[in-house]
Amino acid sequence: MVYLVALGLVRRGAAFTHVFILACAIQLAPLAGPMFLSSDAWTYWSYARVHDPYTNTPSDDRVAARYAGTAYLHDTSAYGPAFSLVSRPAGLITSASHASWLFRASAALCVLATTWLVARRRAFAAALVGWNPLVAMHFAGGGHNDALMMALVAAALALGERRRVQAAGAAWALAILVKWVPLVLLPLRALEARVTGRRVGHAGFAVTAVATLGLATLLWQFHWLNAITPLTHDARRQTHYALPHRFGVPAWTFLLGYAAAYVWLLREAARGRARLGLAFGLLLLALPYLVGWYVIWPLALAAWDDDDEATVLSLALCAYLLPQRLT
C-alpha cells in the first residue's frame, strides 16, 4: 500500500535523481539479510559446478546438492547457454553463502540497471520498477536470473533508441539465450520497426547468437538443446497461483486466449506501437507455471512503454503474487 501511495505522489512530480537513489536503497536492502523465498541461486550454483549442466544434475555435485532446490535436484538446466556461460565462474566458489550472495548481488544490480534504462530519466517509471518491494524481495532476496534477462532486454531497447542497432541486436540475442521468453517480443518489435522505419541489427543478433552457441557447443556439444526438457516439466508441475490451476481448467484454454490476444497485439504493432509490457503481462495470465519474480517482465516494459493498461495489469499481478511462498 505504501508503494502505491508513493507512486501516486511521484506521479504528481518528483526529481528523477532522488527517486533513483531511493530505488538503489530499496533494491539493495535485502542483501543485508539471508536468502529467502527461493533456493534458485543455489540451484544456479550447482549447475555451474557440474561438468555439463545439460546432462548432469545438481545431485551430481556433493557440495551443492544439499542446497539446491529439491524440485530440480534431478533435473538438468532449463537455462540458456548465455546464462550457463556467464555463471560458470561461480562454480569455483565452495561456500554456499558466498555463492548465493553473488547471485543475489548480481540480480539486484541488474534490476537497478533495468530501472535506469527503462526509466529514461522519468521519475514515475523509475519508481514503478525500483521502488517495487516484490522485486526487491525476489531478486536481492532470491537472486533470480530473470533480472539479467530483463537488463539485457532493457539494454536492447535503449541501444535501439540510440540507433546502435547492431549492439541492440546483440543484446536481444543474449537475452533470449538467458531465457527463451523475449522471443515473444521480437515479432512485435519487427512489425513496429517496419511501420516506423526504425533500423534493426540482424547482423549483431546473428553474430552474437552464433558465437554464444558455438562456445556452448565446444564446452557441452549440442547438449544445450536439452534445456527445453525441464521447461515441459515446469509446465506439467504448474503452481497454485497460475490462473489455469486457480480456475481448475486445462492450461491450453488460457494459452489459446493468449494466442488471440497476441493477434491483437500484432495488429497494434502493425499500427506503429509495440506494447511489450502488455504482451508480457497477458502472458503471465496464461502461464501454467507462475511465480512472483516473473512480475519484473511486464513491470519493466510497462515502464518503458509508458503504457497505463500494462502498468495497471503489472501492479495487479504484484498484489496477487505477493502472498506466494516458494522454496
Encode pLDDT of 38-70 as tens digits: 889 999 999 999 999 999 999 998 888 888 877
Nearest to 295 by CA among 283, 306, 305: 283
The predicted-structure confidence for 232-291, as pLDDT tens digits, reads as follows: 666 667 788 989 888 888 888 999 999 999 999 999 999 999 999 999 999 999 999 999
Checking if the pLDDT of 137 tops 80, the result is yes
Confidence (pLDDT) at 245: 87
Using the 8-state DSSP alphabet, how is residue 223 labeled? G
pLDDT in tens, 102-114: 999 999 999 999 9
Kindly report the number of other CB atoms within 10 A of residue 194's CB atom.
Answer: 13
Q: What residue spans of the chain are helical by DSSP H?
A: 2-12, 16-28, 40-49, 81-86, 96-119, 123-130, 133-139, 146-161, 165-176, 186-196, 202-220, 228-237, 243-247, 251-270, 276-286, 296-305, 308-321
Q: Would you say residue 96 has pLDDT above 80?
A: yes
DSSP state of 30: G
C-alpha cell at 252: 491450453
CA atoms within 13 A on the CB side of 172: 27
Instruction: Indicate the average pLDDT of the chain.
Output: 93
As a whole number, mean pLDDT of residues 67-89 equals 90
Average pLDDT over residues 197-208: 93
Q: Mean per-residue pLDDT for 111-121?
A: 97
Report the range of poorest mean pLDDT among 33-37, 122-126, 218-222, 269-273.
33-37
Using alpha carbons, select from 57, 35, 37 the residue that is nearest to residue 47: 57
pLDDT of residue 325: 73
- Give dist(CA 74, CA 213) in Å, integer: 24
Cα atoms in the 13 Å half-sphere on the side-chain side of 255: 8
What distance in Å separates the CA atoms of residue 103 and residue 203, rounded to the nearest whole number?
A: 31
What average pLDDT score do residues 153-169 get?
Answer: 96
For residue 279, what is the DSSP state?
A: H
What integer pLDDT is reported at residue 234 of this predicted model?
63
pLDDT tier, 327 (very low <50, low <70, confident <90, very high otherwise)? very low
pLDDT at 236: 65
What's the start-to-end Cα distance of the chain, in Å?
A: 25
Confidence at residue 71, expressed as pLDDT on a 0 to 100 scale: 77
167: its cell numbers: 549492439
pLDDT tier for residue 230 given thresholds of 50, 70 and 90: low
